[in-house]
Amino acid sequence: MSWSFLTRLLEEIHNHSTFVGKIWLSVLIVFRIVLTAVGGESIYYDEQSKFVCNTEQPGCENVCYDAFAPLSHVRFWVFQIILVATPSVMYLGYAIHKIARMVEHSDTDRRIRSKSFPMRWKQHRGLEEAEEDHEEDPMMYPEIELESERENKEQQAPAKAKHDGRRRIREDGLMKIYVLQLLARTTFEICFLVGQYFLYGFEVSPIFVCSRKPCPHKVDCFISRPTEKTIFLLIMYGVSCMCLLLNVWEMLHLGFGTIRDTLNNKRKELEDSGTYNYPFTWNTPSAPPGYNIAVKPEQMQYTELSNAKMAYKQNKANIAQEQQYGSNEENIPADLENLQREIKVAQERLDLAILAYNNQNNPGSSRGKKSKAGSNKSSASSKSGDGKNSVWI
C-alpha cells in the first residue's frame, strides 16, 4: 500500500500549522500510519484464509467470516486516518488559495499606490515649478518602477515561505477556518472512537459461534491470531485517545493565546493613539514631537529597542502629519528624495540623542565616541542645537 502520497500531503500541512498542530501531525504519522502499516499488512493478511470453521459444509466459512467481520479492523483504521486528515487538507487548500490571492492584491495595490504618487504631487505644485517637471519626471518614474520590481521579488519569496504559527495564521485572516477544521477533526476522532467501541469492543475472542445459513447447526469458527489482534486494537484505542487529547490541547492553546494577543494588541493600540494625537494639537503651542525624548533621558530607562521604537513612532507621526496637512506647502517634501533626506536627518539626530545620553551617564567611556559624535554633528550641524540636552528631532 503506498502511503507516500498522504505523507507528502501531511508535510505540506506541517507548513501551515501551529506548534501543537505540528506535534499532532507527527503523532499521526509516526504512531497511526506506521502502526497501521506494520500491524495491518502483516497481521491481517491471512485473516480470511486462516478463518477455519469446524464444518465441511461449503459456503459456511464465507458466511461466518462475513458475520464475524463486516468491516475489517485495518480498513476501519485506514478510513479513520483518511477522514481525520481531511479537514487539515481542506484547510491547506483554502489557505494556499487565500494567500495567493492576498499576494496578488498587495501587488496591484502597491502598483496603484506608486502610480498615484506623482499625480498627487503634481496637484500640490505651484505653477512656478511646472517648468521643472519635465526634468524631474524622468527621475521619479524609474525610481518607482525599480521599487515595484524589487517589491514583487520580495513578495514572491514570502509567498513560498512558511505560513505557520498562531500569529501568522491570524494575520492572514485564516483563524476562523483553522478553528473550524480543528473542531471537525475532534468530532471525527470522537465519532470513530465511539464507533470502534460499538463495532469491536475491547477484545477479539478466539472462537466465534456462528449459525447462519447454510451452516447446518451452531458451528465453532476459529480466528487467526486473536491475541495479537486484541493487542493492536488496544494500541490503536490508545493512539486515538492521544490524538484527541492533542486536539483539545491545541484548542486550549489557541484560545489562551488569542486572548493574550488581543489583550496585548489593545495595550499597544492605547500607546499608539498617544502619538497620533499630535496632528490634532497642531494649533496649540506645544513642543515638537521629539522634544520630550531629548530632554528627559535621565528619567527613562533606555534600551536600544525602546529607542528604535520611539524613533519609529516619531517618524510615523511626522509622516502622518505631513500627509494630513497636505495643503501646507512648507511641510510637504518637494519630491521623494527630500523625504528620504528628512528620514536620514531624523535618524542622525536620534543617534546624537543616544550619544548625548551615553555621554551623560558614562563620561569616562565615551572619549572614543566623542570624535564620532563630532563628525556627526558637523554633518547635521545646520539643523541641530548644541547637541547636549535639547536636540530637535
Partner 1 sequence: MSWGFLRDLLSGVNKYSTGIGRIWIAVVFIFRLLVYIAAAENIWKYEHDEFECNIKQPGCENVCFDHFFPVSHIRLWALQLIMVSTPSLLVVFHVAYRENREKHHNQKLYKSPGELDGGLLCTYLISLILKTGFEIVFLVLFYKLYNGFKVPRLVKCDIRPCPNTVDCYISKPTEKMIFLYFLLATSCLCIVLNLSELSYLVFKYSIKCYLKRHIKKRQ
Residues of this chain that interact with partner 1 (CB under 8 A) are 2-4, 7, 19, 22-23, 26, 29-31, 33-35, 37-39, 41-43, 46, 49-50, 52-55, 165, 167, 206-207, 220-228, 231
Task: Between 117 and 222, name the residue whose CB sits nearer to partner 1.
Answer: 222
Please confirm whether the linkage preceding 214 is cis (ω < 30° from 0): yes
Shortest distance, position 362 Cβ to partner 1, whole Å? 23
User: Who contacts 207 (Cβ-Cβ below 8 Å, separation ≥6)?
Assistant: 220, 221, 222, 223
Instruction: Write down the least CB distance from residue 63 to partner 1, Å.
Output: 15
Nearer to partner 1, 132 or 271 (CB): 271
The radius of gyration computed from the CA coordinates of the chain, to the nearest angstrom, equals: 35
To partner 1, the closest distance from the beta carbon of 19 in angstroms equals: 5
Provide, rounded to whole angstroms, the least separation between the CB of residue 189 and partner 1. Answer: 21
Contact of 174 with 98, CB cutoff 8 Å: yes
**For residues 107 and 164, which CB has a smaller minimum distance to partner 1 in the complex?**
164
CB of 41 to partner 1, least distance (A): 7
- What is the nearest approach in angstroms of partner 1 to the Cβ of residue 180? 23
Residue number with CB closer to partner 1 (82 or 207) = 207
> Phi/psi of residue 181, each to 5°?
-70, -30
The nearer residue to partner 1, 54 or 347, going by C-beta atoms, is 54
174 phi, psi to nearest 5 deg: -105, 5
Q: Kindly state the smallest distance separating residue 4's Cβ from partner 1, in Å.
A: 6
10 Å CB burial of residue 161 (0-12, 13-18, 19+) is exposed
CB of 46 or CB of 271, closer to partner 1: 46
Please identify, using beta-carbon distances, which residue of 7 and 187 lies nearer to partner 1: 7
- Tell me how far apart the alpha carbons of residues 82 and 94 are, in angstroms, rounded to a whole number: 18
Nearer to partner 1, 76 or 208 (CB): 208
Least CB distance to partner 1 at residue 393 (A): 25
Shortest Cβ 46–partner 1 spacing (Å): 6
Q: Quote the least distance from Cβ 254 to partner 1, whole Å.
A: 14
